[in-house]
Amino acid sequence: MANTFTGLKLQGELGKFGQTDLSDISCYVEFPDGKILSGTEYGVLLLWEGIFIKTQLYLSEDPELLCHENNIEYMAWEENLIITGGRDGYLKWWDYLKIENAEINDFNKSYLKPTKEVQLMNSISKVPVKIMTLIKEKAFWLVQDGNGYLLKVFPEKNFETEVIYDFLSGPIVLTDFINNSPFLLAQGSDSKTMLYNIHKNFNEKIVLYKEDIKLETTACDIYPRESDEDPLIIGIAYKTGLFKILEYIAKDNNLQVIAQHKSHEDAIQKILFSPDGAYLITSTKDEIFFFIIQSLTNLVPKCYIKLEATIVDICWQNKSEKIMVGLSNGNIEEVMFPINYNNLETYLNPDYEKKVFTIKMTMEQIEKKDEKKRAGRKRDKTKKLDEPGPSNIISCKYSNIMEEGDFLVTAAKPYNEYIYLCSFNSERPLKYWNIEKNTWIVQCITQDFVFLSNHTSIIHIRNKTDMNRYLEFSPNALSQGNVSQISMSQDQKLISTAYKDGTIITYIIDSDSFSRVMKYVDEEDKKRDIERKFMLQPASDKILEKIKTIQEEEDQAREEREKLEKQAIEESLEFAKRRAEEQLRLRNAEKKKNEQRDKIVLLAEQFKMIYNKNQEIEEELRLEPEEMIVDETYLDFIRHENNELCRDIKHNYDWQKENIRVTNAKVEEFFLSSIQTPKIYVYTLDKQEYVTTLRCAKLPDDFEEEIAKMETLIEEFVAKIDIKTLEQEFNRYTSNQDSKY
């Protein structure tokens, strides 16, 4: 235990790996004598004694034969056996006594075989299961498959598997609402494409497409639709430089490949259809390839360009005539679509038409920084002001806030405290807004809103008409990954946020409440999380019902399982269960309190609107304050609270008053009531001279009379002095002194 300022705390000890390769540890079990058996990320079992490794467990002396071929993610007791599960799909049972008594060679290694092993196979994909975690029930085991599945495993049926839910695994490449349709499209980096039905509260989900060959998806985009009769077309790009155009076939609920091209040797980072659907671009880290869409099955390659630096962001202009590219060297290029380029000799276009904007600060910012640096000293106007050089562009998006073609930019330090509004017609930014110092990305710009996020998953929603005001929320409780994309539905009522850990969270936005809150938001609101239930509500999902069903089955099986477990484990589980239940009760209570607070805030706003309307009507029709009281009990409660508050304030005031009185009394006693220092010295400031006087407790009775006598004597002496003669002598003396020099 460690004695901290908040009380006693458990204090851990760091394990010493020694010559063993360092590893993250996902699971472990404790032996009765205190030893620890843990897994590793490279498939070896480690037996710990205290903070040191006693031995490393292998299958044989062949270094290629490990306990598991990949991360060991699960470990638990099963009577006198220890069961382990890894990402290689294997479940293996090990004899506890053989591990305890294993022979250790000179290289601190031991070798033993499992008593039993089984490889779980996914019943749909027919590939080994990536075991991430496992929960044992009486009739089945519940296993999370890292490939994006939730499985039931039946040990009594030769470990057959049944898929009960499938989902995206790995980072989300795209999540976007399909215009003129009730669907949200989600594309994962695992090459799985899913379609969620908005009208059915996202409970209906369709797996549209899954690559048979393992290809890592890197980018995706939806072809623009003008009506609900237009086909649903999407473009998917891969790490190999290949991209495919696919069409949704409604009768089969599937996607069919209608075109594919290999436009690059490197991984494609972006694939984007132009807003009018006439063109397509694909980009890598430093190349952009342009295609003309003659038909959705016939893409004509036009040319490609190479950029001077790494591409960090790219987007289309609304008129589909240009693209904007943000680069890591601090430049932003606006490139005209090379419609007239002749590609008979080469597809490489070295002389493409472009405009360049280099990130800079506004003159106002530079002058402020210079003034702060000078700290009040006058500026030498002959010298140029110090100006920071360009920095990495983080994001850039067309915004059309002040003029056609202007755009928002965020950049790295020292520009990471601002959002800049820029134009290719101006050398410097048109405007800027302060923002918390961080790495901010402009994720999405809609007709009315701007969405930004940072690496801590905090999201800002700003209104284009007033960028100084914003709402901030951070759903970190639901997701631990950085925000990869934000999209908004065509009617601006739904917001979808995708994260790099594979999570998608969709919010329903109440536009009226949103506008009202944005109108009254102030600086205090900006500094705290103001996600409100009436404004943003997470959409539900079918998985909640399935997990609830599984939880009920788990509760029924837990009672029987606890009877068979050892007393020590039984007590530990019961304690953990009680603690979890208590935490759940606390969370539910806090949730209910927050809901009541939100209702109170909303009622207060509504009452304020009614009160203001009442003040605007004629005096004869206006309600008096007493007539607007609808709850006398609540009014009495408020009066009681105010009285209590006033009593507290008066008590505090009386205490302060008494404290000052006591202090004054002590000062008076020290200086006037007693003589602590019998003598006082008065020193001059420019000479080493001083005078002294005796200190007395009070002034003499004849003090005023003596002072009057002294003033009379001074006046008499002044009258006797010839001031004019003294001045003449002084002037003559000073003139003689000056003539010497």
Are the C-beta atoms of 148 and 138 separated by less than 8 Å? no
CA–CA distances in Å: residue 473 to residues 316, 397, 462, 595 = 28, 22, 12, 17
Place of tokens 């003008």: 226
Mean pLDDT of the chain: 81
User: What are the structure tokens assigned to 655, written together?
Assistant: 């205490």
Spatial distance between the Cα atoms of 2 and 8, rounded to a whole number of angstroms: 6
Beta-carbon contacts of residue 115 (< 8 Å; ≥ 6 apart)? 81, 93, 94, 95
Phi-psi region of 166 (alpha: psi -120 to 50; beta: other; left: phi over 0): beta
Per-residue model confidence (pLDDT) at position 540: 41
**3-class secondary structure per residue, 631-651:** CHHHHHHHHHHHHHHHHHHHH
DSSP sequence for 145-189: ETTTEEEEEEGGGTTEEEEEEE---S-EEEEEEPTTSSEEEEEET
**pLDDT band of 567, cuts 50, 70, 90:** low
**pLDDT band of 186, cuts 50, 70, 90:** confident
Spatial distance between the Cα atoms of 612 and 605, rounded to a whole number of angstroms: 11
pLDDT tens for 348-371 read 999 999 999 999 998 888 888 777
Are the C-beta atoms of 420 and 359 separated by less than 8 Å? yes
Instruction: Tell me what the mean pLDDT of segment 178-182 comes to.
Output: 80
**pLDDT band of 176, cuts 50, 70, 90:** confident
Q: What are residue 681's DSSP bridge partners?
A: 692
Q: What is the pTM of this model?
A: 0.61
Spatial distance between the Cα atoms of 270 and 257, rounded to a whole number of angstroms: 19
pLDDT of 662 higher than 80: yes
Per-residue model confidence (pLDDT) at position 538: 45
Exposed/middle/buried for residue 200 (C-beta within 10 Å: 0-12, 13-18, 19+): exposed
pLDDT of 713 higher than 70: yes
Spatial distance between the Cα atoms of 20 and 620, rounded to a whole number of angstroms: 88
φ, ψ for residue 678, nearest 5 deg: -70, -25
pLDDT of 711 higher than 50: yes
CA–CA distances in Å: residue 288 to residues 116, 236, 481 = 54, 16, 29
Instruction: Tell me what the mean pLDDT of segment 378-399 comes to.
Output: 80
Strand order, beta sheet including 279-283: 270-273, 279-283, 287-295, 298-306
Per-residue model confidence (pLDDT) at position 528: 42
Instruction: Tell me what the mean pLDDT of segment 97-119 comes to.
Output: 88
pLDDT tens for 430-449 read 999 988 888 899 999 988 88
Q: What residue spans define the domains of the chain?
A: 16-166, 589-637, 663-731
- Reduce the DSSP state of residue 278 to 3 states and report it: coil
pLDDT of 525 higher than 80: no
Note the CATH architecture for domain 16-166: 7 Propeller (2.130)
Per-residue model confidence (pLDDT) at position 179: 82
Tell me how far apart the terminal alpha carbons of the chain are, to the nearest angstrom.
84
Exposed/middle/buried for residue 258 (C-beta within 10 Å: 0-12, 13-18, 19+): middle
**pLDDT band of 558, cuts 50, 70, 90:** low
Please give the share of the chain, as a percent, with pLDDT higher than 90.
27
pLDDT tens for 586-606 read 888 888 888 888 888 888 888
- Reduce the DSSP state of residue 718 to 3 states and report it: helix
Q: What are residue 299's DSSP bridge partners?
A: 293
Beta-carbon contacts of residue 16 (< 8 Å; ≥ 6 apart)? 51, 52, 53
pLDDT tens for 44-74 read 999 988 888 888 899 888 878 889 988 999 9
Beta-carbon contacts of residue 188 (< 8 Å; ≥ 6 apart)? 148, 168, 169, 170, 171, 172, 173, 194, 217, 502
